Amino acid sequence: MRQMKVARIHAPGDVRISEEPIPAVGDGDSLVRVEAVGLCGSDLHWFHSGGIGDAKLDQPLILGHEFAGVVEGGELDGRVVAVDPARPCYECRECDEGHRNLCTHVKFAGHGRNDGGLRQYVSWPTSLLYPLPETLDSVDGALLEPLGVAIHAWDLAKVRLAAQVAIVGCGPIGLLLIRLARAAGATSVVAIEPRPHRREAAWAAGASRVLDPTDADYEDAITRDENGSIDVVIEASNHPDGAQLAVDLVKVGGLVVLAGIPDDDMTTFQAATARRKGLTIKTSRRMGEVYDRAIRLVENGLVEIASLATHRFGFDEIDQAFTQAQDRVGLKVIIEPWRDASS
């Protein structure tokens, strides 16, 4: 029986490489040779805490929901594909109402007991594979998943043309939101980020102003230059203060979208501020049917994604990859299951 390498997390901080049989391909599925897997903030929750929210690690799990590869066999043989990690039931009320991202029976890659993409092969529903144009490779395909998450948050914000927007948190999702804001015609995009290298990335992504919330003059700068003018704030951080920063930034009658996953699973903000401003506050979870739009945005040069992949590792460097991602040194860590450390 043909074998493949897989990376399973057994306990917090304990990811092991082993060999397992290549999965059988069921009806309606395709075999994908996985070539790129992005490490997401939610993967890091599993890595350092052994769970995320109310989902806990109770058996070894293959992480990874941002992945892409090449199909072997079947109707898509030889095609580079992005993989939609969510397998909704298509039968519940939420699915019927068009909210596949809220499906109560969803099987999501790398979550709970549903193995993800950190392995050399996956068998996946062909309907959830998105063939890429020749100009995009597997790393691009893996980055389409965070772009999809950003698109979903942007859709929830219902941003009007020529709006003034702020993004709190400039990790990969936040940087993609800056690019989306520019592509969608925002006249001002304020980025809030404490890490210097991410502030630099925010400038490169198209932010019109970049602020460090830890600076002594931050509140004065907001009061002087931004207060009362920002129509929409999208929070995309994991920091406990992220929601409060968003509520403070947005104008009276404005809208806040909370897309970040806080480390302690608690989101807090001052109720009086939100109430007196009469804010609309939405929460964002994963994405809906957005892959086709994500591909078109990248293919047509409206949103650039390749520069997000700042670090690449093979399976023999798995510990280093997770440490790098956890330390937030770069932007996006990509693991390539077939990569040799020397390459």
- The pLDDT tens digits of the residues spanning 142-153 come to 999 999 999 999
Same domain assignment for residues 100 and 37: yes
Which pLDDT does position 220 carry in this prediction?
Answer: 79
Contact 80, 48 (CB under 8 A): no
Q: Check: CB of residue 338 under 8 Å from CB of residue 330.
A: no
Is position 294 within any domain? no
pLDDT bucket at 339, cuts 50 / 70 / 90: confident
Give per-residue pLDDT as tens, 215-250. 888 887 777 766 678 999 999 998 888 899 999 999
Confirm whether 236 is domain-assigned: yes
Give domain status of residue 273, yes or no. Answer: yes
pLDDT at 65 over 70: yes
- Within a domain: residue 141? no
pTM of the model: 0.93
**pLDDT, greater one: 26 or 139:** 139
- CATH code assigned at 223: 3.40.50.720
Residue 169 lies in a domain: yes
| DSSP 8-state secondary structure symbol assigned to residue 113 | T
pLDDT of 94: 93
Quick one: how far is CA 81 from the chain centroid?
18
Residue span of the structural domain in which 120 resides: 3-131+305-335
Query: Does 275 map to a domain?
Result: yes
**pLDDT-based confidence at residue 46 (cuts at 50, 70, 90):** confident
Q: Residue 276 domain-assigned?
A: yes
177 in the same domain as 78: no
When the pLDDT of each residue in the chain is averaged and rounded to a whole number, the result is: 92
Question: Is the domain of 79 the same as that of 189?
Answer: no
Mean local confidence (pLDDT), 44-56: 80
Q: Is residue 180 part of a domain?
A: yes
pLDDT band at 56 (very low <50, low <70, confident <90, very high): confident
Claim to verify: residue 124 and residue 201 sit in the same structural domain:
no
Phi then psi dihedrals of residue 186, to 5 deg: -65, 135
Do 251 and 156 belong to one domain?
yes
pLDDT band at 343 (very low <50, low <70, confident <90, very high): very low
CA–CA distance, 253 with 280 (Å, rounded to integer): 7
Q: Give me the DSSP letters along 264-326.
A: TS-----HHHHHHHT-EEEE--S-SS-HHHHHHHHHTTSS--GGGEEEEE-GGGHHHHHHHHH
Q: What is the per-residue pLDDT across 78-129, written as a single tens digit (0 to 9) for each? A: 999 999 999 999 999 999 998 989 899 999 998 888 999 999 999 999 999 9
Are 94 and 200 found together in one domain?
no
Average pLDDT of the segment spanning 257-271? 86
Give every CB contact of residue 293 below 8 A, 6+ residues apart in sequence: 151
pLDDT of residue 129: 98
Percentage above 70 pLDDT, the chain: 98
Judge if 173 and 242 occupy the same domain. Answer: yes
Cα(159)–Cα(194) distance, integer angstroms: 25
Same domain for 102 and 155, yes or no, is no
Number of domains in the chain: 2
> In this structure, how many other beta carbons lie within 10 angstroms of the beta carbon of residue 248?
21
> Domain check: are 178 and 119 in the same one?
no
Same domain, 158 and 259: yes
- CATH number for position 19: 3.90.180.10
Same domain, 201 and 309: no
Report the range of poorest mean pLDDT among 56-60, 106-110, 317-321. 56-60
| pLDDT over threshold 80, residue 340 | no
Q: What is the mean pLDDT of residues 192-207?
A: 96
111 and 202 in a single domain? The answer is no
Query: Is the confidence at residue 306, as pLDDT, over 50?
Result: yes
Q: What pLDDT does residue 342 have? A: 46
Answer yes or no: is pLDDT of 1 > 80. no
C-alpha pair distances (Å), 20 with each of 271, 288, 290, 340: 51, 32, 33, 19
